[in-house]
Each structure stands twice: as C-alpha cells, then as structure tokens.
Chain A
Amino acid sequence: YIHIINKADMAASKGLKILVGCKRVIDYAVKVRVKPDRSGVVTEGVKHSMNPFDEIAVEEAVRMKEKKLAGEAVAISVGPPQSQETLRTALAMGIDRAIHVEIPLAQLEKLQPIHVSKLLAKVCESEKPDLVILGKQAIDDDCNQTGQMLAALLDWPQATFASKIEPSQDSKQLRVTREVDGGMETIDVSVPAVVTSDLRLNEPRYATLPNIMKAKKKPLAKMSPDQLGVDLQPRQEVISVEDPPVRKAGAKVESVEDLVGKLREKGLVK
C-alpha cells in the first residue's frame, strides 16, 4: 500500500489529514483490583476513560488544526460499544469525526496490539491519512506496540515518544523531537508517518459538558472487524493475573558483623 502526498510546502497545502487512535481504559485514578479467579482485573462498574496518552494525541491533532498544519482530524477507537463515549470525548475536544470499530465482547479480552494495528492499517487504506498519532502505550496493558506495528504494516516511517511535532526546516517533512533514554532526539520524517505521543507533548484540554453535547452532532461511523477483513484470533493466552508481591519490610543492621550474621541466617552466605 503506497500513499504519496504532494510534497508541496505544508504551510501552503490544505493541511494534513490526521487519524488519532483512542483507547477506552480503566480510569488512571481507579485502584485496580484483581478478580478472585485471577483471570483478569475487575472492569464491571469501574470508571473508564480515554487512555491519558491518547488524550495527548487527540490534543495534538486539534492543536495542529488550530495552527492550520492539519485540515481534518479523525478519531478512531477499537473496542466495545462504550468506546463511543471515548470517541465523543475526542469529538468534544475538537476532532471532526469519529470511527468506531466495534469488537464483540467475547473477543474483547483477547484483543492484542497485533490485531488493533491490523485493523488500523486497514482503515488507513481507505481513509488515507497523512499522519497517524497514537498514544505511546495504554495504561492498562502497557504494551507500547500498536504504533510501531502499524508503521511496519503500512511501511511508513515512525516517530515514537514524541514530545514535539513541527514542520521541518524545508516544510516538506515533519520534525519530531523524541524522548529517549538519556535525553532527546530530533528526527525528520516524511509523511505519511506514524507518531506516538509522550507525556510532555502537550497538556490536553478538558472536555466540558457543553462541548460534549455539541459533539453529539458530529459524525460517528461504525465498522466491524469482519468488514475490514481482519482475523482476531488470539496469539496469546493469559495464564493468570496476580497482584504484585507485597514488599516485605527491610531490616536495619548496626554493623558489618550483623549484616553477615543476617545473611548467614537467610542462607545467602555460608
């Protein structure tokens, strides 16, 4: 699949078309509880909201529209019926229209980034965005894979952990500053490209009630994985989900002899 954008000066063109991915996850402030049967975490009746890194992605798309760098911003979410609420939040923040790829409940728990990236790739074939912005990772599974996999499937360049996105010096590419171990890296990528958002990319606006109400009028299209021809066969099986081990209290020692004595007691030293 090849999509070539007119490499004219970005400032003069109609603006980029941006596709933003949003995931519905358990709210970041909720105290997550493991189910007694250790098959997963409790989600029934638990507050859910948009993945915080996806909020940052949505905010960036809206800001690029405000700066006239982008012409159209479309939000997409792969998930259960309630993902529509997540999309409505994106629309309330300033996204133009939304796409909901609805996943039947039975397949929801087994959904992995490999499936999501394939679904997104299929949508990119028809939507033909110039830029896809995703959150760098979801706070529920912390996979940090979907953006990278999507770029590979589309054979597009990727700029992950973005803390700044701007036109390049010659305005023909995007200059992305990335947060990497030990500092920042600035790269130029040609469009179309996949970018994943990091924490310091921007501060997302709050979707107030009046904006949520206005968002109800914006278009929201529904799609199914079958329509997109993507197989959702799970590649992984969750064996068990458990609480992290409780940290045992440490013990303070007065001298080296004490330390060696304690280590001997525990059989760690002969």
Chain B
Amino acid sequence: KLQSSISDPMTSPPPQLRSQVIALYKNLLYMGRDYPKGYAYFRDRLKSVFLKNSGVKDPDQIKVLIGRGEFVIKELEALYMLRKYRALKHRYYEKDEATTSATTSSSDKEAPTKTQ
C-alpha cells in the first residue's frame, strides 16, 4: 500500500525499511490531530506525499526520505509548542509585560512550515 515491495526481491528494499516507513507514517498521522488547519487537511497531504514516493526502491534514498519525515516531526513539535506558548501568553499576560529571560530561548524560533 505504502511501498510497492511486491516486485522482484532482488530490487526490493529490505523489510526493516518498510516497517520504519510505516511507523513514520503512523507517527506523523498521530501528530496530525493537532495540526492548525485540521486533521483531514494534514492526513490528505501526508497520504499524497507518501504515495508520491512509494515507488522509491533504493535503500539509501529511502533512508533520506525517512530522515526528512523525522525532521518534519521535529518541526511540528516546535510549531505546536510555539503556538500554544503564544496563545497562553496572549490570554494570560499583560500585552506590554517585559518578558523575563527565564526559559524563552528556544520558544523565540520562527514557526517552521511543513516541507514536502
């Protein structure tokens, strides 16, 4: 379904990679529940991206793509954290309150966008 490993075993990627890809898909799908534009929007795009790359057979290429997927997971985590922090700060704290030096270092990153 996600990867066409039905073909010749000589050119098929190793089975561990297949399960890694499936796990990546499941993890990304789980994270889609919190996506600002909605789960359906996220799921449709996630599905199409995985289908687009489903023909890739070269194990090195697959590892690169898995790496890219894991990077997206990190970006989403940062996005969710930043959104939540900003929403709470806006709701609970005075507008021109001086921000303390405390633990805001990593929260001041620019919100990353979802990459292909």
Which of A199, A205, A210 is within 8 Å of B88, CB to CB? A199
- Contact flag A204-B100 (CB < 8 Å), given A199-B88, A199-B89, A210-B27: no
Which of A29, A163, A179, A201 is in CB contact (< 8 Å) with B87? A29
How far, in Å, is A58 (CB) from chain B's closest CB? 14
Map CB proximity to A onto B28-48 as digits: 1 under 8 Å, 0 otherwise. Answer: 001100101000000000000
Q: In the complex, what residues of B have CB within 8 A of residue A163's CB? A: 100, 102-103
Q: Is A209 an interface residue (CB 8 A)?
A: yes
- Decide: A203 near B88, CB < 8 A? Known: A184-B100, A209-B26: no
Q: Which of A139, A164, A201, A209 contacts B30 (CB 8 A)?
A: A209
**Closest approach, in angstroms, between the C-beta of B82 and any C-beta of chain A?**
9
Q: Once the chains bind, are A28 and B88 in contact (CB under 8 Å)?
A: yes
Assembled-state Cα–Cα distance A206/B84 (Å) = 12
Main secondary structure of the interface of A (DSSP, over half): mixed
B85 contacts A203, CB within 8 Å? yes
Across the interface, do B88 and A202 meet the contact criterion of CB distance under 8 Å? no
Tell me whether chain B's interface is mostly helix, strand or loop, or mixed: helix
Flag whether A52 is at the interface (Cβ < 8 A). Answer: yes
Query: Cβ of B93: which chain A residues have Cβ within 8 Å of it?
Result: 199
Q: Which residue of B lies closest to A204 (CB)?
A: B81
Specify which chain B residues have a CB less than 8 angstroms from the CB of A206 in the assembled complex. 31, 77, 80-81
Tell whether A208 is near chain B: CB-to-CB under 8 Å. Answer: yes
B104 within 8 A of A: yes
Q: How large is the interface on B (under 10, 10 to 19, 20 to 34, 35 or more residues)?
A: 20 to 34
Q: Are A28 and B87 in contact (CB under 8 A)?
A: yes
Determine if A200 is an interface residue (Cβ-Cβ < 8 Å).
yes
Taken together as a complex, chains A and B put the C-alpha atoms of A164 and B27 apart, in Å, by 32
- The interface bits of chain B over 94-116 (1 if a CB of A lies within 8 angstroms of the residue's CB, else 0) are 00000010111011000000000
In the complex, A167→B83 CA distance in Å? 31
Report if B56 contacts A (CB, 8 A): no
| Alpha-carbon distance between A184 and B92 when the two chains are bound, in angstroms | 16
Question: Are A200 and B100 in contact, CB atoms less than 8 angstroms apart?
Answer: yes
CB within 8 Å of B: which A68-118 residues: none
Contacting residues, chain A, for B87 (C-beta < 8 A) = 28-29
Residues in A with CB closer than 8 Å to B80 are: 206
Inter-chain contact A164/B102, CB cutoff 8 Å:
yes
Contact between B106 and A203 (Cβ–Cβ < 8 Å)?
A: yes
Q: Report yes or no: B104 in contact with A200, Cβ–Cβ below 8 A.
A: yes
Question: Which of B84, B87, B107 gathers the greatest number of chain A CB atoms within 10 Å?
Answer: B84
Residue on A with the closest CB to B83?
Answer: A29
What distance in Å separates the Cβ of A209 from its nearest Cβ neighbour in chain B? 4
B 1-42 to A, binary, CB cutoff 8 A, 1 in contact else 0: 000000000000000000000010011001100101000000
Contact with A along B69-90 (1 / 0, CB 8 A): 0000100010011011101110
A212 to B31, CA, bound (A): 12
Q: How far is the CB of B57 from chain A (nearest CB, A)?
A: 27
A146 to chain B, nearest CB (A): 17
Most buried by B among A29, A139, A203, A205: A203
The 4 closest A-B pairs by CB, nearest first: A209-B30, A200-B102, A206-B77, A209-B27
29 of the cross-chain contacts (CB-CB < 8 Å) are A28-B87, A28-B88, A29-B34, A52-B84, A52-B88, A139-B91, A163-B102, A163-B103, A179-B100, A199-B85, A199-B88, A199-B92, A199-B93, A200-B102, A200-B103, A200-B104, A202-B103, A203-B85, A203-B103, A203-B106, A204-B81, A205-B77, A206-B31, A206-B80, A208-B30, A208-B73, A209-B26, A210-B23, A212-B30
